[in-house]
Amino acid sequence: MALRSSRFLSSRNGVPADRRPTAPRAPGTNPVHIVGAGPGDPDLLTVKARRVLEQAEVVVYDRLVSPAILALIPATAERLFVGKATHNHSKTQDEINALLIARAEEGRRVVRLKGGDPFVFGRGGEEALHLAQAGIVFEIVPGLSAATGCLAAAGIPLTHRGLAGVAHLASGHTLEDGRLAVDWAKLSDPQSTIVIYMGLATIDRIAAALMTGGLAASTPAAAIENGTLPAERRLRSTLGAISRDLRDQEFASPTLIVIGPVVALAEILSGETSAGAEDQMSRPRARAIER
């Protein structure tokens, strides 16, 4: 089955993809909405995400969806937790896929609710493909990703003219044999921004690989725990010290790590300082900032 709605212009028998007729929807069925919940603050939900969530009859949600957003789910809706943490999965991915298909086949309004954006380290693509293969109609509702939402709220641009013209989003996970899943040395560009998801357990190895690749130990680095939420904490450090500083400050998941020259702009752009900000930006030591 083709994906639900394609506006990409391709041709088959001379007919553009966005003009070909689609198969009629079976009576009584509803699309599964794969919804991005954003980084946590309910005010950062998109209008569409909130509308879809408030109309849901079944909500299948992840661990990183904040309580404030879960509070928007109708009291009559069935809530199904399928969250995952390292070495602790409440359900396997195959079980989640089967659950979505089973609830959709009942004709109920199903929302698959994910933190951030469903297509940024959220397995939204995998689940959409399984729905398509099962002949289930679905719709993607984009969300504000952690990389954009948390960094912007902390005053750290992903890109900035003259400092970083490239941004890398990467996972800190390892392969089954223990090796890092990303060749970090290849990302060691001093004029780029590196955003690391799920990297707390491996940041020491990641930092070492980046320095081996050529990044200076003095490269600005930061971490954001529980971004955009009332319990948010921020830490500014350097590439050479970030691993130690995270341990000393006892940062926990979910924590987003960012490395690159744009981190230095947070002194001014976060609104935490005014006069003398440029002098403070030059300080090499880590500084934890709690809200």
Q: Quick check: is 3 in a domain?
A: no
Q: Quick check: is 1 in a domain?
A: no
Total structural domains within the chain: 2
What's the CA gap between 116 and 237, in Å, rounded? 25
Cis, bond preceding 157 (omega within 30 deg of 0)? no
Q: Quick check: is 166 in a domain?
A: yes
Extract the tokens encoding 50: 């909130």
pLDDT at 20: 39
pLDDT at 83: 84
127 plus 155 within the same structural domain: no
Q: Quick check: is 55 in a domain?
A: yes
CA-based Rg of the chain, rounded to a whole angstrom?
21
pLDDT at 98: 95
pLDDT at 104: 96
109 plus 164 within the same structural domain: no
20 plus 109 within the same structural domain: yes
What's the CA gap between 72 and 56, in Å, rounded? 10
Q: Quick check: is 18 in a domain?
A: yes
121 plus 176 within the same structural domain: no
pLDDT at 219: 98
Terminal-to-terminal C-alpha distance of the chain: 48
Q: Quick check: is 98 in a domain?
A: yes
pLDDT tens series, the chain, 291 aa: 344 444 544 444 444 444 433 443 453 479 999 999 999 999 999 999 999 999 999 999 999 999 999 999 999 999 999 986 555 557 899 999 999 999 999 999 999 999 999 999 989 999 999 999 999 999 999 999 999 999 999 999 999 999 999 999 999 999 999 999 999 999 999 999 999 999 999 999 999 999 999 999 999 999 999 999 999 999 999 999 999 999 999 999 999 999 999 999 999 998 765 434 333 333 333 444 443
pLDDT at 85: 58
CATH number of the domain encompassing residue 188? 3.30.950.10
46 plus 133 within the same structural domain: yes
What's the CA gap between 14 and 54, in Å, rounded? 41
CATH number of the domain encompassing residue 127? 3.40.1010.10
Which uninterrupted H or E stretch holds 12? strand 11-12
Domain of residue 225, residue span = 147-290
Q: Quick check: is 6 in a domain?
A: no
On the CB side of 189, CA atoms within 13 Å amount to 14
176 plus 276 within the same structural domain: yes
157 plus 273 within the same structural domain: yes
What's the CA gap between 237 and 287, in Å, rounded? 7
pLDDT at 24: 39
> 128, 144, 160: which is the final residue of a domain?
144
> 98, 113, 144: which is the final residue of a domain?
144
- The residues, any chain, with a CB within 8 Å of residue 133's CB and separated by 6 or more, are 1
> 85, 111, 144: which is the final residue of a domain?
144
Catalytic residue numbers, as ranges: 62, 84
105 plus 157 within the same structural domain: no
